Amino acid sequence: MGGGPKRRKKSSPGLKRLLKTKRKTKDLDQIDDDLKEENIHKLLHQEVDPDLPGDAQHYCVHCARYFINREALKTHFKSKPHKKRLKSLELEPYTIEESERAGGLGSYIPPKKRKIETQPMDDETFDPTKEDVDMK
Distance, in Å, from the CA atom of 55 to the CA atom of 33, rounded to the nearest integer, reads: 23
107 or 69: which leads in pLDDT: 69
Query: Does some domain include residue 6?
Result: no
Query: Does some domain include residue 82?
Result: yes
CATH of the domain at 39: 3.30.160
Residue 77's contacts (CB-CB under 8 Å, 6 or more residues apart) are 60, 118, 121
Q: How confident is the model at residue 110 (pLDDT cuts 50, 70, 90)?
A: confident
Q: How confident is the model at residue 136 (pLDDT cuts 50, 70, 90)?
A: very low
Count of structural domains, the chain: 1
- In which domain, by residue range, is 90 found? 26-94
